[in-house]
Structure 1
Amino acid sequence: MKPRIAVLGCGYWGSNHIRTLKSLGVLAAVSDANEARAEGFASEHDCVAISPEALFEHAGIDAIVLALPPQFHAEYAIRAMRSGKDVLVEKPIALTVDDAQRAVAVARETGRIIMVGHVLRFHPAFEKLKELIDKGDLGEIRYIHSHRLGLGKFHTENDALWDLAPHDLSMILALTGVAPEEVRGEGAALLDHLSDFAHLHMRFPGGLRSHLFTSRLNPYRERRLTVVGDKAMAVFDDVEPWGRKLAVYRHAVWHDSGHWAFTTNEPTYVDVEEGMPLTRELQHFLDCIETRGEPRTTGEEAIEVLRILTAGSVTHG
């Protein structure tokens, strides 16, 4: 039998989970504090609506996807796992490292799966980029920078750093395979006390450096991850069409007669299999439930993402 999955939280991102799980044939229930909203989704997708309080003990549910305001993620994940259910919790896993650690400890204690929704780890272009790096095609990685810019969305709890950066931090940690030794953050709040622009600067063991720039008050959309190696450079640009999402630049730089010289080359676009990251993420969650394997996006990694966010946060008066 396929796992029977419920989605708790029928907002914007929860609705995407609902539609995708329905397409995978595993949507059993939806739940929301707004009963009418849950009933509407249940009717549309031919499943049942269950109140949040009844959901955790419901015998007909094997796992729960949590798509809630992040201040509820850790508490509800713990309740679900103590009730014998596996959990996919949206990013960020919690608002404090302590809460995230408690959730991960409960997963170990109960033998339940806790997977975190760092969805871009399942993007085919990112998977291909990681494959190129692992094969040594870019050489030794020296620098990684990420830009995630656009207009909105505006939240009362999360600033631009906490809302936008977790995806990129998860990708950067996957590529480096190690946590940064040093984190420095800068932010600017224009609308209220929450940062609308944020920079993170990171230094990793071995000298690798990285910076991340997020903005929710930008006039254009940018979704770009750039990796600089000593053999080649690569750019994952999610705004580009599929045939141009992953580009490799084989520029050359060398030292000649006391001066630096370089040549530039046109990019080579890498063939990438088309696929929806959320579908691939949820299929991976189902595979983990069935095999009891460790998720690609673990709770431990999510804790490290929180440590970086906390270290780089800027408070505004």
Structure 2
Amino acid sequence: MKPRIAVLGCGYWGSNHIRTLKGLGALHAVSDANLARAEGFASEQECLAIAPDDLFARDDVDAIVMALPPQFHAATAVRAVEAGKDVLVEKPVALTVPDAERAVAAAKASRRVFMVGHVLRFHPAFEKMKALIDAGELGEVRYVHSHRLGLGKFHTENDALWDLAPHDLSMILAITGAEPVEVKGEGAAVLDHLSDFAHLHMLFPNGLRSHLFASRLNPYRERRLTVVGNKAMAVFDDVEPWERKLAVYRHAVWQDSGHWAFTTNEPTYVAVEQGMPLTRELEHFIHCIETREEPRTDGEEAIRVLRILTAGTVSHDRAKAPASASAGA
């Protein structure tokens, strides 16, 4: 039998977990502070609706997927693992590093699976990109930059950096295999006191540098991760159709008589198996529950991501321009 999983939090992303787990045959229950909302999903998906305070003591619940406002993640995860439940916690896993460390330590002490929802690590295009890097197809990686831009997803607790950057940081950490030794953050608050634009500049131990740009106040969508090696460059562009999501550029750059010269080549589009990242993520969670393997996106990675977010956070005063005028500028 597959593990019996409950989803705690029936909001936008929680509803995606609910429907995906139902398709995987592992959805046992849903739970939400708004009981009517939970009962609606329970009726739709033919599962149980359980009040949050009753969820942790249930013997018929093996694991919990948490899609809560992030300020509740850490304490709820501690409660779950101490009650003997395996957990998948959506990002960010906490709002402070000490809170994340407590949750991870509690999971280890209880010998529970602790996984974090860095879903793009399970995107087939990123997995293929990572395989190319590991195989040496790009040569030595020298620079990584990511852009995650769009309009919307405004929160009262999270700024653009904390809301949008964890996915990209998880991918960058997977590529570099190390934590940065220097982090510099820049931000801009336009609508209120929270940053709507954020830049992170990172330096890694081997000299590799990385840049991340996140915005929730941008007129167009961009979801692009670029890796520059000394043999080739690769671009994972999630806005493109499947046949163009992963491109490899084999440009050549050299010195000729003391001057730099280069040639450009058309990109080679790498075939990528189609698949929904959330489905693959939850399949991995189920696999880890069944085998007791350490998740690919475990608690230690979540702590590393939080350390970078904390180091790169910039405080702002409330924007002086009226919000409506700023948003339309």
Take 1:59 and 1:123, find their aligned partners in 2: how far apart are those partners? 33
Provide Cα deviations, 1:151-179, integer angstroms capped at 9, x if missing partner. 01100000000000000000000000000
User: Partner of 2:218: helix, strand, or coil?
Assistant: strand
What root-mean-square deviation, in Å, do the aligned CA atoms of Structure 1 and Structure 2 show?
0.3
Take 1:297 and 1:61, find their aligned partners in 2: how far apart are those partners? 22
Report 1:224-235 matches (<5 A). 224-235=224-235
Task: Note if 1:256 corresponds to 2:256.
Answer: yes
**Paired letter, 2:35:** E
Partner residue, 2:271? 271
**Paired letter, 2:85:** K
Provide Cα deviations, 1:230-266, integer angstroms capped at 9, x if missing partner. 0000000000000000000000000110000000000
Take 2:165 and 2:211, find their aligned partners in 1: how far apart are those partners? 11
Task: Note if 1:61 corresponds to 2:61.
Answer: yes
**Paired letter, 1:145:** H
Partner residue, 1:151? 151
Partner residue, 2:171? 171
Deviation at 1:66, TM superposition (A): 0.2
Take 1:207 and 1:79, find their aligned partners in 2: how far apart are those partners? 41
User: Partner of 2:206: helix, strand, or coil?
Assistant: helix
Task: Note if 1:141 corresponds to 2:141.
Answer: yes
User: Partner of 1:138: helix, strand, or coil?
Assistant: coil
**Paired letter, 2:117:** G
Deviation at 1:107, TM superposition (A): 1.0
Take 1:67 and 1:108, find their aligned partners in 2: how far apart are those partners? 21
Deviation at 1:123, TM superposition (A): 0.1
Take 1:226 and 1:26, find their aligned partners in 2: how far apart are those partners? 35
Deviation at 1:180, TM superposition (A): 0.2
Partner residue, 2:22? 22
Take 2:160 and 2:166, find their aligned partners in 1: how far apart are those partners? 10
Show structure 1 runs of 5+ residues with no match.
none
User: Partner of 1:234: helix, strand, or coil?
Assistant: strand
Deviation at 1:220, TM superposition (A): 0.2
Partner residue, 2:291? 291
Partner residue, 1:125? 125
Partner residue, 2:112? 112
**Paired letter, 1:160:** A
The 4+ residue runs of structure 1 with deviation greater than 2 A are: none
**Paired letter, 1:130:** K
Count of matched residue positions in the alignment of Structure 1 and Structure 2: 317
**Paired letter, 1:128:** K
Take 2:249 and 2:205, find their aligned partners in 1: how far apart are those partners? 25
Take 1:31 and 1:240, find their aligned partners in 2: how far apart are those partners? 35
Partner residue, 2:87? 87
Partner residue, 2:72? 72
**Paired letter, 2:166:** P
Take 2:63 and 2:227, find their aligned partners in 1: how far apart are those partners? 36
Show structure 2 runs of 5+ residues with no match.
318-329
**Paired letter, 1:230:** N
Report 1:168-247 matches (<5 A). 168-247=168-247
Take 2:2 and 2:274, find their aligned partners in 1: how far apart are those partners? 25
Take 2:266 and 2:205, find their aligned partners in 1: how far apart are those partners? 32
Deviation at 1:206, TM superposition (A): 1.2
Partner residue, 2:305? 305
**Paired letter, 2:209:** R
TM-score of the two chains, using structure 1 as the length reference: 1.00
Partner residue, 1:44? 44
User: Partner of 1:225: helix, strand, or coil?
Assistant: strand
**Paired letter, 1:268:** T
Take 2:260 and 2:203, find their aligned partners in 1: how far apart are those partners? 25
Take 2:66 and 2:128, find their aligned partners in 1: how far apart are those partners? 28
**Paired letter, 1:234:** A
Partner residue, 1:103? 103
Provide Cα deviations, 1:208-228, integer angstroms capped at 9, x if missing partner. 000000000000000000000
User: Partner of 2:222: helix, strand, or coil?
Assistant: strand
